[in-house]
Amino acid sequence: MRATLRRIARFLGPLAVSMALLIALWYLFLVAFPQVGPRVGKSPVDVWRYLFTSAASHTARANLVDNLQITLRDGAIGFASGLIAAVVVAAVFVSFASLQQTLLPIAVLLRSVPLVAMTPIIVLVFGRGLIGVAVMASIVVFFPALVMVMAGLREAPRQARELVAAYGGNRWTALHMVAIPSALPALFAAARISVPGALIGALIGEWLGSGEGLGSSLIRAIPRYQYNELWASIASVTIVSIVLYAVVGVLENLVLARFAPGADRTS
C-alpha cells in the first residue's frame, strides 16, 4: 500500500508543477504581449475577483457552473462511448487481421479530416442536441484510444495465449483472460489522454452545434466584451481537465497495483 501511495505521489507531483507553470505562463503571456491590454487580458487575480470577491461574483459563478455542468455531461458521454467503442473495435481488429487491414486505413483517413470540417455532416445526421455533441466528443476520443489499445492488446504474452489454446480456449478466451489484462496499462493511458480530448470535442460540439455549455458561452463572451467570463471559462475548463486527468491517473495506479503490479504507472 505504501508503494502504491508513493507511486501516486510521484504521479501527482508533476501535475502540481505543471499547474504552477501554467499560471506562470499565463502571467508571462500578459507581460510578453502588452498590446492585449488590461481590458482584454485578464490575470489569475482578475479571474479570482470575478468569480469570488466582486459584487456580481455569485451570479458569475452560478452561470459558469451551469455551463460547466453541461460541458462535463457532454464530455462524459463522449468519453465513455468513444473509449468503449475503441476497446471493442481494437479487440475485433486484433482478433481478425483481415478486418484490420480492410477497415483501419479507412479509420486513419477519417481521422485526417478536421473535426470542424465534419461538424456540418454530424449535425445534419445527429442533430444539434446532446447526441450530436456526444458524437463529436467520442470521435476525438476514439481514434487515439484505438491505436493505443490495439498496441496494448498485441503485447499480450505469446506463451500465455498458447497456454489458453492448449487447454481448448478459443481466441475470445485468450482475449478475455490474457490480452485485455495485459493491455490495462495501455487502456489507462488511452483514458488519461482521452479526458482532455473529450472536453475539447464537447466544446467544439457546443460551439458549432448545440449552442449550450462552455463552448457556446466562450464564443458569446467575445462580442459582448465579457473578457472576465472568457478567461474564467478557459481557466475553469483547463483546471477541470487537469483534475480529471489526475483522477484517472490515481485510479490507474490503484487498479494496476492490484492487477498488474509490474506495470509502469508513473508516466
CATH number at residue 200: 1.10.3720.10
Query: Each residue of 62-79: b (16+ CB within 10 Å) or e?
Result: eebeebbebbbbbbbbbb
pLDDT band at 260 (very low <50, low <70, confident <90, very high): low
pLDDT band at 261 (very low <50, low <70, confident <90, very high): low
Q: 101 — phi, psi (to 5°)?
A: -65, -30
Flag whether 176 is in a domain: yes
Flag whether 267 is in a domain: no
User: With 70 as the cut, is the pLDDT of residue 259 above it?
Assistant: no
Flag whether 37 is in a domain: no
Flag whether 36 is in a domain: no
Q: How far apart are the first and last CA of the chain?
A: 19
Residues 206, 71 contacting (CB under 8 angstroms)? yes
pLDDT mean over 230-254 = 90
CA angle 192, 198, 200 (to 5 degrees): 115
Flag whether 139 is in a domain: yes
Domain containing 100 equals 2-31+42-259
pLDDT mean over 239-244 = 92
Residue type, 164: V
- pLDDT for 206-217, tens place per residue? 888 778 889 889
> pTM of the predicted model, to two decimals?
0.83
Cβ-based neighbours of 266, under 8 Å, separated by 6 or more = 7, 10, 11
Domains contained in the chain, number = 1
Residue type, 122: I
pLDDT mean over 256-267 = 59
Q: Residue 29 has which C-alpha cell? A: 503571456
User: With 50 as the cut, is the pLDDT of residue 266 above it?
Assistant: no
Neighbours of 37 (CB within 10 A): 10
Given this model, what pLDDT does residue 86 score? 92
Flag whether 107 is in a domain: yes
Flag whether 266 is in a domain: no
Flag whether 235 is in a domain: yes
